[in-house]
Amino acid sequence: MGSENSDDAAVWLRPGGDALIATADFFTPIVDDAGLWGQISAANAVSDIYAMGGKPLFALNLVAWPRDELELEILEKVLLGGQTAAEAGSWVIAGGHTVDGPEPMYGMSVVGEVAPDAVITNGGGVAGQSLVLTKPIGTGLLATAIKRSDPEAITENGWLSEIYKAGVREMTRLNAQAAEAAQQAKATAATDITGFGLLGHLYELAKASGLSASIDTAAVPLLPDVRALVEGGFVAGGTDRNLAFLEPFLDGGSSTNRLILADAQTSGGLIFSCDSEAAQAAVLYLRDSGHDAAIVGVLESGEPGHILLQE
């Protein structure tokens, strides 16, 4: 038996069989609806399985709950939301563990499988390959705006209504079809976009591949009104930390575009590298299935991890 790590997941190579992928993730509520929070958390937790080209098999719920402050009926809704995601992705929730905690947290530990010769890591990029992004950016800005606004902001006529609907749709969308697109395109490197933002995760992919990257900022799909949220100051602390770390590795790009592309995502899409022609076919396939996907850049020979933002 052997193992290797890629991003936030561990891969175990089983003699004579498929490889197992194990990952875990959980976080505090980012929306007020308990069921949606559960569904988003589960979609986020399974994302590493899809990023490596795998399929989820089973999961364990991970819960911290302040039972003296929040009713268990609310937790039931959270768990049902997680079950909704599991049913959509055809994996089994086999149990879990709950502890008392000062604030609610929910997520999953997920195990998946992949053929050993089909494992996609974040270090297999090749110079000249195109970069495909499978979901729009902006969920971190949305979550921050929700926290700082009245509950009416996300209602039908609220000022966050449009981006909230779009954000929920994308955060609950599994990366299963994105993983299929990456496999069909014979992608050699991939990662999911979560807390480090598009730039942070692309930095990791490029550095692990020994390459640099360039991004066409105008090509990056965004949630509605994201630029207005930046201008309104709804930037999360995690995004600021992402950008502070990345500054030495970035060239070009306006301050607004840098903040957007460093935005800390929840249940974001995949970014994968493949040949140009295959990338175009992958984008068409994903758009036909409802994904706001796009070719957003290219991997190049150069300083490992360096990213050029072209406008």
| Cα atoms in the 13 Å half-sphere on the side-chain side of 39 | 22
For 51-75, what is each residue's pLDDT tens digit?
999 999 999 999 999 999 999 999 9
Q: Which domains can be identified in the chain, with CATH numbers? A: 2-118 (3.30.1330.10), 130-310 (3.90.650.10)
Nearest alpha carbon to residue 55 among 188, 173, 193, 175: 175
Average pLDDT, the chain: 95
Q: What distance in Å separates the CA atoms of residue 310 and residue 103, rounded to the nearest whole number?
A: 42
Predicted confidence band at 7 (pLDDT cuts at 50, 70, 90)?
low
Q: What distance in Å separates the CA atoms of residue 196 and residue 307, rounded to the nearest whole number?
A: 15
For 108-148, what is each residue's pLDDT tens digit?
999 999 999 999 999 999 999 999 999 999 999 999 999 99
pTM equals 0.95
- Here the tokens at position 262 are 């460093």
For 199-241, what is each residue's pLDDT tens digit?
999 999 999 999 999 999 999 999 999 999 999 999 999 999 9
